[in-house]
Amino acid sequence: MKVSRKWKFGMMALASASLLAACASEPDNDGAATNTTGNTSNNEGEAEASEEVADGNDLIIAVLSDASRLDPHTSNDVPSGNIQVNIYETLLRFNDDMELESNLATEWVDVDERTWEFTLQEGITFTDGEAFNADAVKANIDRILDDEVGAARKILFEIIDEVEVIDDTTVRFHTSEPFAPLPAHFAHYASSMISPAVIEADYDNFQNGDGNPGDYINENPIGTGFFTYDEWNPGDSLRLVKNEDYWGDLPHVDSVTFRVVPEDLTRVSELETGSAHIIDPVTPSDMARVNDGDTMEVYQRNAASITYLGFNTEREPYDDDRVRRAISMALSKDAMMEGVLEGTGELAYGPINDTQFGFSTDVTQLERDPEAARELLAEAGYADGFETTIWTNDSRERMDIAELAQADLAEIGIQAEIEVVEWGAYLEQTGQGEHDMFILGLSLGTMDADYPMHMLFHSENSGASGNRSFYQDAEFDALLQEARVEQDEDVRFGLYEDAVDYLIEESPAAFLYHPDHIMGYRSDVSGFWADASGLYQLQDVTID
């Protein structure tokens, strides 16, 4: 579904503040106006519904967007990741302090500068009865590296030349170059371990002409996690149930239902009435409402993520770095921070923030300068501006950002039409390069600059894998490779400063801000937290 949103440019400069204020009152799912600063009614029927949800020990999470796929190797979006991290597990994981710790692997050591050895947990089985062992690890990583599969995040592991099985509980990864951050990549949910039997069945499926890689896994998601897949009604809800045979501590709830609720205020209303225990996201303008009372609380944390305005560099006029830089210089990021984020989050210096190795404030910044932006446009042959489109998915925050960007661009003669695209179609169509400009984000899941830099801008990752700007630059690729294999941390840090400076000058994207993760939960829910990538941690959640 694509919805075109056209605005009159002459009015936008005067009306941007009122547009944001208007977001304080939106229709609920019955078409009635709901004031975000007050509580909706809580009649007897609603109270009974709330008790019924709690008594069943079934956790209900109301989310903005549905998952796209349940195969962690061929998907690369956070809504899918939030399901996958509860079905599958990784060798390592990050704790709440973003420190690397054991998970399916108990130990990891660099045998030499090009070899990492992992020791695995013993006695673990996948939920289909298959053994988790070194052979299973090899099957998974070989699949990720297989060009025939087309794994969305192959770039995380392409430095691995060989996966060697030493014995059932020992596996070695031989790399083409020394690569110190590799263990952190095994904490990313893209490296989730899938049952080898399901992997084999998936190969049989698509190699025999029955669909595409991952289709079988999408319908048969088998991992070692503390929840198992139950049912999925695409666009509506997805349900997981407790894995009674889980090898570690069992989750406290019997099931988790992820219910798709696109409207922000409907999610808040569901939290108020108790028909949802957790909602995500909570927009900054709704935080006061969620905090107003004894029944709801806000969960807020710093995010390892970036929100950016990307350019399709394969299309005119975005194949000209002067045009891209002009647009970056026209944007008022301060207005976005104050008007939409209401002071939450932080301005972006580049694609990474201080959660990542390689972050520095000593990088070049493009200050807002509409006059200089107009001069750049004229130099590029667009003195009178041009018409274009800004794509965004159906997130109120991003739609508001698009409106502010639209007004900023009108100041330099660029007339932009906003197009709001449903999440699944958004991922597909931007992956195919059907857009001009687009607003999107990336979770920075490895705590190292190597991943986001490669994911968003490396030539080999163009398209649906992550580089939706279709930016291809051999000099930048070489700089990333130099930083990837450098063993001296100080030198490596400096190389990432250089890489960020290069990106800011080239401007394949305008780096806007690092948003906080803001969610809401019922006061009778405890043990809930999200990691820096915004992935829900549900194993210890209880409902009182």
Residues 361 and 236 in one domain: no
Position 2 pLDDT exceeds 70: no
Residues 293 and 315 in one domain: no
CATH assignment at residue 466: 3.10.105.10
Q: Across residues 362-391, what is the average pLDDT? A: 97
User: What is the rounded distance in angstroms from the CA atom of residue 39 to the CA atom of residue 275?
Assistant: 15
The answer as to whether 520 is a domain residue is: no
The answer as to whether 413 is a domain residue is: no
Indicate the SS3 state at residue 379: helix
Q: In what order do the strands lie in the sheet with 386-393?
A: 2-5, 414-421, 386-393, 437-443, 305-311, 509-514, 346-347
Position 30 pLDDT exceeds 80: no
What's the confidence (pLDDT) of residue 148?
96
Residues 441 and 363 in one domain: yes
What's the confidence (pLDDT) of residue 96?
79
User: What is the rounded distance in angstroms from the CA atom of residue 276 to the CA atom of residue 211?
Assistant: 36
Confidence grade of residue 239 (pLDDT, cut at 50, 70, 90): very high
Residues 382 and 471 in one domain: yes
What's the confidence (pLDDT) of residue 199?
98
Residues 55 and 125 in one domain: no
Amino acid of residue 137: V
Position 38 pLDDT exceeds 50: no
Residues 292 and 371 in one domain: no
Which residues, listed in sequence order, are joined to residue 306 by a DSSP beta bridge? 442
Burial of 58 (0-12, 13-18, 19+ CB in 10 A): middle
For residue 380, how far is the Cα from the chain centroid? Answer: 34
- Helical axes 450-457 vs 489-506, angle rounded to 10°: 30
List the one residue out of 80, 67, 170, 75 whose CA is nearest residue 118. Answer: 170
CATH assignment at residue 290: 3.40.190.10
Q: Residue ranges of the alpha helices (H) in 56-207?
A: 78-87, 134-145, 182-185, 196-207
What's the confidence (pLDDT) of residue 226?
97
3-state secondary structure 42-88: CCHHHHHHHHHHHHCCEEEEEECCCCCCCCCCCCCCHHHHHHHHHHC
The answer as to whether 75 is a domain residue is: no
Residues 338 and 237 in one domain: no
| pLDDT tens track for 122-133 | 999 999 999 999
The answer as to whether 166 is a domain residue is: yes
What's the confidence (pLDDT) of residue 132?
98
The answer as to whether 12 is a domain residue is: no
Amino acid of residue 496: Y
The answer as to whether 277 is a domain residue is: yes
What's the confidence (pLDDT) of residue 482?
95
Q: Are 403 and 12 in contact (CB under 8 A)?
A: yes
The answer as to whether 404 is a domain residue is: no
Domain that holds residue 317: 304-388+436-514
Residues 377 and 483 in one domain: yes
List the one residue out of 532, 534, 506 whose CA is nearest residue 519. Answer: 534
User: What is the rounded distance in angstroms from the CA atom of residue 437 to the CA atom of residue 331?
Assistant: 13
Residues 114 and 262 in one domain: no
The model's pTM: 0.81
Residues 334 and 461 in one domain: yes
CATH assignment at residue 108: 3.90.76.10
User: What is the rounded distance in angstroms from the CA atom of residue 33 to the CA atom of residue 29?
Assistant: 9
Residues 377 and 472 in one domain: yes
- Which of residues 184, 199, 214 is at a domain's end? 199
Indicate the SS3 state at residue 429: helix
The answer as to whether 472 is a domain residue is: yes
Residues 491 and 366 in one domain: yes
Based on the structure, what is the number of domains in the chain? 3
User: What is the rounded distance in angstroms from the CA atom of residue 18 to the CA atom of residue 357?
Assistant: 40
